[in-house]
A and B are shown apart, each in its own frame.
Chain A
Amino acid sequence: MFAASGLNSRNNRRQALIRILFMLMTGLLILPVLIILTTLLYKGGPAISFEFLFGNPTNGMTEGGIFPALVGTIWLVAVALLFSVPLGVAAAIYLSEFAAENWFTRAINLAIINLAGVPSIVHALFGVGAFVLFMDFGTSILAASLTLAIMTLPVVIVATRESLQAVPYAFREACWNMGATRWQTIRRVVLPNAVSGILTGVILEVSRTAGETAPIMFTGAAFFLPFLPESVFDQTMAMSLHLFVISTQVPGVPDELPFGVALVLIAMVLIMNSFSIALRIYLRVNKKW
């Protein structure tokens, strides 16, 4: 009764073709991730041991562990988050909820987009000029983290603004009509519904911050420093720089060592991400519309 006409079957064939094509594209997307992870596990896996994770590098960094770099990266990320999250979220709330739609707001938005486009090595030089020299923090965790914070600020601002604007306008209107001020509306209706999106921005930032090398190279990360930092004014080793150093600057490093460092760096980021994703899912359960 509904026999396929020539036109129908041609359209169906075309749809099937397109579907397979797009599926292959998606498959290609996953391929690099799979290759990287398996290579790292295969080559770096044997390097992982208790001593590797919690020991100091020894013998000109050709042996031993990575503990100072591990702790250093955690310091850098944590201090950077401390600055960029409050600053970025506050700026995004202002831009999305308070700012009038005029040339000034548009200029700020443009500046944020441009800030995101600045190459990281330029951020590094800015960090040297502004934090290391002008503010006189010296090469320290503080200077490096501030540089990282400025570099990742656009990610936080854009993600926060997007998630604030994803909350339907009708919710705000309903709340204003009840006699709520802008701030009451933001705190009781808008923020609770945007928090999962904001967390996404923070997750992205963590991943980026942990892996950045250039901005911390001149501002706070040390080539070789087998001590743990004691305050934010100390220099520190960092995973990303350590990886760069032992793969290019130091002769005679056994093959599995850089792969091991890379594996640990990726694992760190993945662990932080999955923690945030779990938190997101938990927060999302009560927010449906």
Chain B
Amino acid sequence: MVEALTQNHPYDTVPKQAPTKPSSSPVKLDIRNLSISYNGIPALVGVNLKIYENEIFGIIGPANSGKTSLLKALNRMDMFDSAMTVSGEILFDGYNIQRWRNVYALRRRIGVVFPLPVGLPMTVYDNVALAPRLSGINNKAELDETVERCLKRAALWDEVKDRLQSLGSLLSGGQQQRLTIARALSQNPDLLMLDEFSIAVDPVTTMRIEDVLKELKREMTIILVTNLTQQAHRLAERIAFFMNGTCIEIGDTESMFSGNVTDNRTADYIAGRFG
């Protein structure tokens, strides 16, 4: 009895996985029969998905298909939205996130990038240092190191290194989006979720960010929600096609883009006949 109490509950601390990629990647996220509704109106119905470690998993599909809702559920944002109800199971490294006691620790392991860049109205430095500070790191040297490392990895360092103390919200759109990525990286996440990151970004910046993602894949799992099927083609190893709140089809990117699909809607969407 006493022993049981003194033992760490598995949901208190979950050991971080080693960054090295094993030969057969373990499952990072196991989504089982996930349904999401807002005020009783379903947004996502019965989704089953497995996402493996160190892969870029693409999610494509027309608007209103529940892609963003899925990301919100993964990050436990339903906590902040009283209209949102989530049922089903999401296993993160094998642990059910609904039963995870410290949701804040969970969110720190998941970096999120939104469609529209959100540069917080504080300096570039403070933007990137916010997440470490929130988790209690106040050591100047450590923060400096984190800020520089994350900005470099987000391919933004060279453009802002001389104006770290100017306002983050005054950077250009493309720079702000890379700032958002740097901020997400500052949490040291093992899962990075990008929700249509290129919507407000010019093509050149998009290509730079795509290169960044290919690098980051070695260290973390990436979920890429995108409206650009070609972007999913370029980056993702596997793709899920969502439509009207259901997951129509999951498959290997190469085989899906070479026409190897079972559902006509998927074929039409990938070929650009609708969407």
- Measuring CB to CB, which residues of chain A are less than 8 angstroms from any residue of chain B? 100-101, 170-171, 173-182, 184, 188-189, 192-193, 286-289
Contact of A179 among B80, B134, B170, B180 (CB under 8 A): B134
Q: Give B30-81 interface residues, CB cut-off 8 Å to A.
A: 75, 77, 80
Question: Which residue of B75, B167, B169 is within 8 Å of A177 (Cβ)?
Answer: B75
Q: Which of B86-94, B104-112, B145-153, B251-259 contacts A (4 or more CB under 8 A)?
A: B104-112
Secondary structure type dominating chain A contacts: helix
Q: Given known contacts A179-B187, A289-B121, is B114 in contact with A174 (CB within 8 Å)?
A: yes
List B contacts of A100 (CB < 8 A): 82
Interface pair B130/A177, CB less than 8 Å apart:
no
In the complex, the chain A residue whose C-beta lies closest to that of B106 is A179
Within 8 Å of chain A (Cβ to Cβ): is B118? yes
Q: Is B120 an interface residue (CB 8 A)?
A: yes
Judge whether B199 is part of the interface by a CB distance below 8 angstroms. Answer: no
Known: A171-B118, A192-B121. 19 other contacts (CB 8 A): A170-B118, A173-B114, A174-B118, A175-B130, A176-B80, A177-B75, A177-B77, A178-B108, A178-B187, A179-B104, A179-B105, A179-B131, A181-B104, A189-B120, A189-B122, A286-B167, A288-B121, A289-B119, A289-B121
The answer to whether B121 touches A180, judged by C-beta atoms less than 8 angstroms apart, is no
- What is the total of A-B residue contacts with beta carbons within 8 Å? 69
Interface centre among A177, A180, A184 (most CB of B within 10 A): A177
Instruction: Return B121 CB to nearest CB of chain A, in Å.
Output: 5
A174 contact set on B, CB distance < 8 A: 112, 114, 118, 120, 180, 183
Q: Which residues of A contact B77 (CB under 8 A)?
A: 173, 176-177
When the two chains form their complex, are residues A179 and B118 in contact, meaning their CB atoms are under 8 A apart? no
Taking A173-B77, A288-B169, A288-B170 as contacts, is the C-beta distance between A178 and B107 under 8 angstroms? yes
Q: Are B105 and A289 in contact (CB under 8 A)?
A: no
By CB atoms of chain A within 10 A, which of B106, B110, B120, B134 has the most?
B120
Interface: B164 (CB within 8 A): no
Residue of A nearest to B80 (CB): A176
Contact B104 A180 (CB under 8 A): yes
Q: Smallest CB-CB separation from B75: which chain A residue?
A: A177
- Shortest CB-to-CB span from B122 to chain A, Å, is 8
Bound form: Cα–Cα A287–B105 in Å: 29
User: Across the interface, do A287 and B121 meet the contact criterion of CB distance under 8 Å?
Assistant: yes
Q: Is the CB of A101 within 8 A of B75?
A: no
Instruction: Determine if B116 is an interface residue (Cβ-Cβ < 8 Å).
Output: yes
A11 to B15 Cα, complex, angstroms: 71
Q: Which residues of B contact A189 (CB under 8 A)?
A: 120, 122
> B138 on the interface (CB 8 Å rule)?
no
A171 proximity list for chain B (CB < 8 A): 118, 120-121
Chain B 152-175 near chain A by CB (<8 Å), digits 1 or 0:
000000000000000101100000
B17 within 8 A of A: no
Give the chain A neighbours of B105 by CB distance below 8 A: 179
Cα–Cα distance between A180 and B133 once the two chains are bound (Å)? 10
